Structure 1
Amino acid sequence: MDKNQLGIQYMQDGKWEEAAKAFNEAIEEDPINPVGYINFGNVLTAVGEEDKALKFYQKAIELDENAAAAYYSTGNLYFNQERYQEASKMFQTAMEKGLQTADNFFMLGLSLIQLDQYRLALPFIQRSVELEPSDAEAHFQYGMCLARLELLDDAKEQFEECIILDPDHSDAFYNLGVAFGLKDETEKAMEMFNKALEIQPDHVLAAYAKKVFEQGAE
């Protein structure tokens, strides 16, 4: 088996040392192939060695400026460090270099959401949903984006799709409740808040919203 494929198998099994060894051998066998460096960087990221990981991603880009996966991995690293502006640039570059995957569109959109750039984020989150319609979290974030842009009917559709895919998504129930509340559908809103609290009893926002609606009904 190819050393990179073997290393990926080890990563999937959580065998980080074995994965690192396999990727190191892949680099030694083919030192001008960026794939081994990207994979080694991913192992380092997974075990918390982010500074070292970044050097491997940079090496991959030095070897091939079109190595889209290196930009994507760098973007994930920056996102985890809450460096959202830099992350968004990496995901954008990965897209421009040909990485047209649901994950890349999602992470680009999510980075822009973290920067409160909802209108810019919307088409990327929408594209991630189109490419991976079974991703509950993508539907949720798409709904959040739409809600921020006051497109409530469209947002409700996405929250409803989210809870179909993930019936335990308490945040989707809560935000669906808010959407119903803003439409003066109080009974439906209360049902959603109660469902959110049933799933997550310590859901502070749902508890507060329920209390507000109950006081308003008195």
Structure 2
Amino acid sequence: MNIEDVLEDFKKKNFKKALSSIEKILIKNPNLEQNINLKGVILANLNQVIEARKCWFNAISINNSYFDPIYNLGDSYLKNKEHDEALKYFTKASELQPKNFIVHFRIGYLFMQKQNWDKALLYFNKSKDLNDKFPKTFFNIAIILNLLNKKKESILFFKSYIKLQPNDLEAYYSLGICYREIGDIQMAEETFLKAFKLNPEYPYLKGQLQFMKNHLCDWSDYNNSKKNIEKDITKNKKTITPWQALSVIESPKLLKENTILFINNKELNHKNLIYKKKITLGYFSPDFCEHAVSNQFK
């Protein structure tokens, strides 16, 4: 039994076998901090968080300059959103390895969780300066800049991220939204089309794409697209937002069904903005001569 066998089992996700092996190794040499740290990592993967932390504390008591258990403690606390403890250990880790980009990234992510955007950007940028090939840094910066309504800057970082991760649907979708919000409808349509080619069933993508085509007066596939969107609504698919549906759907019944589906969607990133279980929708007749009609869907 040797450490290579443990690592091989760990790579194969045979965590229980790896744990049994590392415990046997530790009986022979109980004070080797590297093996104690590894036991902690294995325990963490078995969701035995308290026992994992005990191992890392033990490893640090043997060698208080050992980076790995200090970082692992920070990461463990961060996953539990124990931000103060996480920051304490990440700070120690960054002092030991100031050029370790992942430590700065995790501190940035910590502040992102706390919605401290300025500090999050500070640490993400530190991480980016140390490693400009790590995709998640660019994505998180783009998300924060978008939240701060810095759309054009956000677009640049989404594009940098996509260069590194060219098949990420969420990034294309978010980039398309940014283009739409700055009024660049042509680029929004092109971006949504790229996402559509990757996965036409991505939530709300069909609606976004058709809405952009409506803006551009592109009616080439309107009837077919309309039928597909209506069919998706009857199947309870997340295909179009209630506001965009007004430009496509004529049936009040389908509009209501789609709105209910939208407000009950627990996966929405902007769920916190929906503070009432109803949406008021108004619309004119096709010739804009008749008065607006308003409906409340509950």
Q: By the TM > 0.5 criterion, same fold?
A: yes
Q: Once the two structures are superposed, what CA deviation does each residue of 1:13-52 show, in whole Å capped at 9, x if it has no partner?
A: 5443344344434434542243432221111111221221
- Larger mean Cα displacement after TM superposition, 142-151 or 43-52: 142-151
- Larger mean Cα displacement after TM superposition, 40-49 or 192-201: 192-201
- Larger mean Cα displacement after TM superposition, 185-194 or 142-151: 185-194
Listed as ranges, the matches of 1:194-205 within 5 Å are 194=230, 197=233
Kept in 1, the 8 Å contact 2:124–2:137? The answer is yes
For 2:179, the aligned partner's letter is: L
Residues 34/191 of structure 1: CA separation in 2 closer, same or farther (3 Å cut): farther
Q: Give unpaired runs (5+ residues) of structure 1.
A: none
Residues 208/74 of structure 1: CA separation in 2 closer, same or farther (3 Å cut): same
Distance 2:67 2:132 in 1: 15
Backbone CA RMSD of aligned residues? 3.1
Q: Which has the higher contact order (CA 8 A, sep 6+)?
A: 1
Cross-structure match for 2:90: 57
Distance 1:160 1:25 in 2: 53
For 1:207, the aligned partner's letter is: P
1:210 counterpart = 2:232: no
Which residue, 73, 79, 83 being the options, matches 2:106?
A: 73
Kept in 2, the 8 Å contact 1:38–1:73? The answer is no
1:111 counterpart = 2:133: no
Kept in 2, the 8 Å contact 1:68–1:99? The answer is no
Which residue, 11, 28, 48 being the options, matches 2:81?
A: 48
Between Structure 1 and Structure 2, whose CA radius of gyration is higher?
2
Which residue, 217, 229, 251 being the options, matches 1:184?
A: 217
Aligned residues: 217
Kept in 1, the 8 Å contact 2:59–2:69? The answer is yes
Q: Give unpaired runs (5+ residues) of structure 2.
A: 4-33, 251-283, 288-298
Question: Equivalent residue of 1:160, what SS?
Answer: helix
1:162 counterpart = 2:195: yes
Aligned-pair CA distance for 1:170: 1.7
Question: Equivalent residue of 2:162, what SS?
Answer: helix
Distance 1:64 1:33 in 2: 10
Kept in 1, the 8 Å contact 2:176–2:187? The answer is yes
Aligned-pair CA distance for 1:12: 4.8
Q: Once the two structures are superposed, what CA deviation does each residue of 1:83-136 show, in whole Å capped at 9, x if it has no partner?
A: 222212211111112253111111111111111111112222112111112222
Per the normalisation by structure 1, the TM-score is 0.80
Distance 2:102 2:116 in 1: 18
Q: Once the two structures are superposed, what CA deviation does each residue of 1:146-168 show, in whole Å capped at 9, x if it has no partner?
A: 32333333322332333444444
Kept in 2, the 8 Å contact 1:140–1:172? The answer is yes
Cross-structure match for 2:28: none
Distance 1:74 1:197 in 2: 42
Residues 143/195 of structure 1: CA separation in 2 closer, same or farther (3 Å cut): farther
Q: Once the two structures are superposed, what CA deviation does each residue of 1:54-104 show, in whole Å capped at 9, x if it has no partner?
A: 111112122232232121111111112222222122111111122531111
- Larger mean Cα displacement after TM superposition, 158-167 or 134-143: 158-167
Q: What percent identity do the matched residue pairs reach?
A: 19
Distance 1:117 1:164 in 2: 28
Cross-structure match for 2:185: 152
Listed as ranges, the matches of 1:124-135 within 5 Å are 124-135=157-168
For 1:209, the aligned partner's letter is: Q
Question: Equivalent residue of 1:40, what SS?
Answer: helix
Residues 191/122 of structure 1: CA separation in 2 closer, same or farther (3 Å cut): farther
Aligned-pair CA distance for 1:185: 3.2
Listed as ranges, the matches of 1:14-33 within 5 Å are 14-33=47-66
